[in-house]
Structure 1
Amino acid sequence: MARVRPGEAANPAPPTVQRIRVRFAKRGRLRFLSHRDIARSFERAVRRAGVPVAHSHGFSPHPRISWLGAAPTGAASEAEYLEIGLTRELDPAGLVAELDAALPAGLDVLAAVVAEPPPLADRINASRWRMELPGVAVAELTAAVDALLARDSVVVERMTPSGRREADVRAALASAAVTQGAGPTSVSAAEIVAGCAILTAVVRQTTPAVRPDDVLGALDVVAGLRPPVPAKVTRMAQGLLDDRGRLAEPFDSDRVTARV
């Protein structure tokens, strides 16, 4: 085995010449995939599509795919983001089509752009969530949301791998609105729940992160609201929050889109 000279990588790999940012959706039953399962799916899709992905150096090289703020397991999303390093330049439109075709239905590539400064992490500081609450009346949810917004602070506790953590939901909640959903909702083969209130909430990124289940936990704290069945949660957007409570799209206007 050749000796490694000082300052050289043990297993040099081709350099990264281009970075492409990708927006994708997590839909249907695939919302129950863990983040690691999603990462493995993308790694397999990159190999299957023949994408010239860059790899790290060393004896155990891994593809240079970086992730940003994955949605919780069980939550769907229309706005998940990753960045791929490439060893040669590609047209983002071609990458969208090839990667989308190599992924299972439910992991759908929506857009791609060539990465430009500032970093993707600096373009996102909040998420907009849609929470469908079968069996909860609009009036009941509206009263609970009003009670939450009237507070200066509402702290909830959550178990994490590192122990119990507290998060101030009210401090992270930028806005919340209640609307009426569709009529009777099928929960199981034997149960129909009448009515479905929908909560749309814009939540700032905080440490620790405030998740949709934390928002629902805060509604329980302030108003005793407990949906009879689990909420259906979807992340609709991520971006920079402006003074009017709107989220700016992280991608530039020249993004390439695919099927919706």
Structure 2
Amino acid sequence: MREQPEQQAPPVQRLRIRYAKRGRLRFTSHRDFSRAFERALVRARVPMAYSSGFNPHPRISYAGAAPTGAASEAEYLEIGLATRTDPDDVRRELDAVMPDGLDVVAVAESPGGALADLLTASRWRIDTQADPTALAEAVPVFLAADSVLVERMTKKGMREFDCRAAVHDLAADGSSLELVLHHTVPAVRPDDVLSGLRGLTGLEVPGAPLLTRTGQGVLDVGSGELADPLG
């Protein structure tokens, strides 16, 4: 029988980290980012806690990652540490060794609970080359619809779902859209909303739009504000 591995001590501190994906690094997949981040933890000498078992790995919890190709100013993860460390020191040391375009924005001590429970909605900006007048006319038609069905290829094949139900707010700003999305299952993405606008109104959106997540958190339905997960 294999000898049982040594049990690792639980983390003595948990830190929540907000990071950004900018420029060409928006094309980084979640797997690519996780590899880059784990290398950065080693280079920054962050005192990570590790899981127990035959293949110990650093205690990192990812939540609500943006789709590949989307830029973001509000991505979040949580790490467990083996010794207590000043959060600002971790932010400074990590940001110094991360690739340009993957930037550590803020680090705060976790008060406990699940990080995913604090990420229930996202605010997006969609920059397009669409005609501003056509865009402004399409938005109220979309918002007035009871449902807007779209199709997208998933890991389980082509799937049809209602993208309207996830939209809390949608507004035109010139040739751009400001969008607030509830996190639903299946997840509705900003490009799904664009597909819904095209299918419902015939809106023409030439070229590839730039998707940028500008915020993420718990949505206050009354005010439309997102609570800061690090607050």
Q: TM-score, normalised by structure 1?
A: 0.85
Q: 1:225 aligns with which of 200, 203, 208?
A: 203
Which residue in 1 is equivalent to 2:225?
A: 246
Q: 1:236 aligns with which of 200, 214, 227?
A: 214
- 2:105 maps to 1:110: yes
RMSD: 1.4
Q: 1:40 aligns with which of 35, 41, 46?
A: 35
Q: 1:98 aligns with which of 89, 93, 99?
A: 93
After TM superposition, give the deviation of residue 15 of structure 1 in Å.
Answer: 2.6
Q: 1:156 aligns with which of 144, 150, 159?
A: 150
* 3-state SS of paired residue (1:77): strand
Which residue in 1 is equivalent to 2:191?
A: 213
Whether the 8 Å contact between 1:167 and 1:209 is mirrored in structure 2 is: no
Which residue in 2 is equivalent to 1:173?
A: 167
Matched to 1:168, the amino acid is D
For 1:62 and 1:3, how far apart are their aligned partners in 2? 19
After TM superposition, give the deviation of residue 118 of structure 1 in Å.
Answer: 3.7
Which residue in 1 is equivalent to 2:114?
A: 119
Whether the 8 Å contact between 2:88 and 2:107 is mirrored in structure 1 is: yes
Whether the 8 Å contact between 1:166 and 1:208 is mirrored in structure 2 is: no
Which residue in 1 is equivalent to 2:46?
A: 51
For 1:64 and 1:117, how far apart are their aligned partners in 2? 15
The within-5 A match list for 1:57-76 is 57-76=52-71
For 1:247 and 1:125, how far apart are their aligned partners in 2? 9
* 3-state SS of paired residue (2:140): helix
After TM superposition, give the deviation of residue 166 of structure 1 in Å.
Answer: 2.4
After TM superposition, give the deviation of residue 244 of structure 1 in Å.
Answer: 2.2
The within-5 A match list for 1:136-147 is 136-147=130-141
Which residue in 2 is equivalent to 1:202?
A: 180
72-81 or 157-166, which moves further after superposition? Answer: 157-166
Q: Which runs of 4+ in 1 moved over 4 A?
A: none
* 3-state SS of paired residue (1:100): helix
Percent identity, aligned pairs only, is: 53
Q: TM-score, normalised by structure 2?
A: 0.96
- Residues 143-168 of structure 1, C-alpha deviations (whole Å, 9 max, x = no match): 11111101011111111112222221
* 3-state SS of paired residue (1:146): helix
Aligned residues: 230
For 1:115 and 1:106, how far apart are their aligned partners in 2? 25
Unaligned runs of 5+ in 1: 5-9, 181-196, 253-260
Whether the 8 Å contact between 1:156 and 1:169 is mirrored in structure 2 is: yes
Matched to 1:103, the amino acid is M
* 3-state SS of paired residue (2:89): helix
Unaligned runs of 5+ in 2: none
